[in-house]
Amino acid sequence: MAFPGVVKTLQAEAAKPENRGYADNGIQEFKDAAASYMGRVFGVKGIDPETEVIHSIGSKPALAMLPYAFINPGDVTLATVPGYPVICTHTKYAGGEVRHLPLLEENGFFPRLDKVPAAIKKRAKLLYINYPNNPTGASATVKFFREVIEFARENKVVVVQDAAYAGLAYNGKPLSFLSVPGAKEVGVEVHSLSKAYNMTGWRLAFVTGNERVVAAFANIKDNVDSGQFKAIQKAGIHALEHPEITDAITAKYKRRLAGLVKVLKEAGFKAKLPGGTFYLYMRAPKGLKGGPQFKSAEEFSQYLIKEKLISTVPWDDAGAYVRMSATFESKGVKDEARVLAEVGRRLADLNPVF
């Protein structure tokens, strides 16, 4: 659930007559809070809240709308896989093409931008990245973001960094793309309140960064929706002003993921703590000793749900992997341990072979 202060703010603001009606492209107070949040949490200074921030009814619609500002028939969106497919789907709706950039474990789950063919680079208009990454859990580095900026400059590509999980970082301070010099010249970052503040379903996010890209998104958005309910935006302001909420959420997920890694290792899987997100991404086995063999992650995932009642998401885009999530419901730390122990009990007899 969202934290009590966020819920109470929504309750109070929903009763105020000044919050009825359309919000259009957002209330200025939310934009101000978002700019301050970027400085406080990520060290990104100098964001103009009037021209370099705009809210969205969740990050998914932002990713869906951005291609309509930049993609014409024949243009290309470069997008990492495995990954969230929305920007790719709408690139195709706009008549564009998608070039997938595989995230391979041997490359730290970063795309090889140097492998993009020259003919594709000439037609590329958008580069979509997502760090901390869903599903791999990989966290970006300053070095990688510098490579992205240089690539965008050389090829005149707009970067869209999906930062939905940016607050959930396990290896030090959260890193923003916009904290790297030159990033604001080439793109934007999309932040969601769903993961960082347990506001899933409230539908609130913001796009920030390059003024012209923000304006282009705002132009599309203004012709698609009429803005999120002002009371929800004001509850979002309360959230952004209390980053300690994210600290508590991060500690919970890190604890759960560490416990899940331990359980999986004991069962014979090659699991390790991710750099961020609440996901655990691990290679699917080729089969089970003395048992069934699997041609894909899809087959292994089907086996787990049917035979062990364990739900995973399979990915076969860049090798065979499954994604587990630490978002299960529990009544406290002891109950978490009970759930994890049950996972271990169900996996104990598998004997996976890689």
Note down the domain range covering 305: 245-346
Q: What pLDDT score does 339 carry?
A: 96
Q: What pLDDT score does 330 carry?
A: 92
298 and 174, same structural domain? Answer: no
* Residue 219 belongs to some domain of the structure: yes
290 and 196, same structural domain? Answer: no
Q: What pLDDT score does 287 carry?
A: 97
Residue segments in the chain with a per-residue pLDDT below the cut of 70? none
**Of residues 66, 63, 123, 68, the one with CA closest to residue 94:** 68
The total number of structural domains that make up the chain = 2
Q: Among 242, 275, 293, which residue terminates a domain?
A: 242
Q: What's the rounded Cα separation, in Å, for the pair 201 and 58?
A: 9
* Residue 164 belongs to some domain of the structure: yes
Q: Do residues 208 and 191 lie in contact, with contact meaning Cβ atoms separated by under 8 Å?
A: yes
DSSP 319: B
- Beta strand spans in the chain (E): 53-56, 76-81, 97-102, 124-130, 158-162, 187-192, 205-209, 279-283, 287-288, 313-315, 321-325, 352-353
Residue whose entry in the numeric block shows the structure tokens 């959260």: 174
**Of residues 242, 232, 171, the one with CA closest to residue 206:** 232
Q: What's the rounded Cα separation, in Å, for the pair 33 and 139?
A: 25
233 and 249, same structural domain? Answer: no
* Residue 273 belongs to some domain of the structure: yes
Q: What pLDDT score does 58 carry?
A: 97
* Residue 351 belongs to some domain of the structure: no
Q: What's the rounded Cα separation, in Å, for the pair 324 and 299?
A: 15
* Residue 88 belongs to some domain of the structure: yes
197 and 181, same structural domain? Answer: yes
Q: Among 242, 266, 293, which residue terminates a domain?
A: 242
Distance of CA 134 to the CA centre of its chain: 6
Q: Residue 85 has which token pair?
A: 């497919």
Q: What pLDDT score does 49 carry?
A: 98
111 and 59, same structural domain? Answer: yes
183 and 329, same structural domain? Answer: no
- Compute the chain's Rg from CA coordinates: 21
Instruction: Say which CATH number the domain at 342 has.
Output: 3.90.1150.10
Q: Among 193, 217, 242, which residue terminates a domain?
A: 242
Counting beta carbons within 10 angstroms of the beta carbon of residue 154, is it exposed (0 to 12), middle (13 to 18) or buried (19 or more)? exposed
Q: What's the rounded Cα separation, in Å, for the pair 42 and 184?
A: 14
Q: Residue 180 has which token pair?
A: 């790297």
226-229 contacts at long range (C-beta below 8 A, 24 or more positions apart): 226/22, 226/23, 226/24, 227/22, 227/23, 227/24, 227/25, 227/26, 227/55, 227/57, 228/23, 228/26, 228/55, 228/56, 228/57, 228/203, 228/204, 229/14, 229/19, 229/23
* Residue 352 belongs to some domain of the structure: no
124 and 57, same structural domain? Answer: yes
No. of helices (H) and no. of strands (E), the chain: 13, 12
Q: Residue 174 has which token pair?
A: 């959260």
Q: What pLDDT score does 167 carry?
A: 95
Indicate the pTM of the whole model: 0.95
The β-bridge partners of 338 are none
- The per-residue pLDDT for range 49-100, each reduced to its tens digit, is 999 999 999 999 999 999 999 999 999 999 999 999 999 999 999 999 999 9
Q: What pLDDT score does 72 carry?
A: 97
Q: What pLDDT score does 32 carry?
A: 98
255 and 109, same structural domain? Answer: no
